[in-house]
Amino acid sequence: MGSLLVVVGAAMAVAHLIAHLANMRVIGVQDLLIGFPMAAILVIIGLLLIGLHSLRE
């Protein structure tokens, strides 16, 4: 599950970067939820889950 969150977060960050480079109009709440903050949260939670899983083993 942790690895999946890391991959999804990285894909979201890349998609958001492409949207900004292509001058797509992403504004307001959409920019906050689709953008880099949400991608970072997903990656951090994924890494925490991976770390917790490795501690159990």
Rounded distance between C-alpha atoms, residue 4 and residue 12, angstroms: 12
The identity of residue 31, as a single letter, is: D
Query: How many domains is the chain partitioned into structurally?
Result: 1
Give the pLDDT confidence of 4-39 residue by residue, as tens digits: 999 999 999 998 888 778 877 766 666 766 788 889
Provide the residue range defining the domain that includes 29: 2-56
Q: What's the pLDDT score for residue 8?
A: 96
- The three state secondary structure string of the chain is CHHHHHHHHHHHHHHHHHHHHCCCCCCHHHHHHHCHHHHHHHHHHHHHHHHHHHHHC
Q: What's the pLDDT score for residue 17?
A: 82
Q: What is the pTM of this model?
A: 0.79
Q: Name the nearest CA neighbour of 51 among 17, 8, 15, 1.
A: 1
Give the pLDDT confidence of 36-51 residue by residue, as tens digits: 888 999 999 999 999 9
8 compared with 55, residue with greater pLDDT:
8
Does residue 57 have a pLDDT over 80?
Answer: no
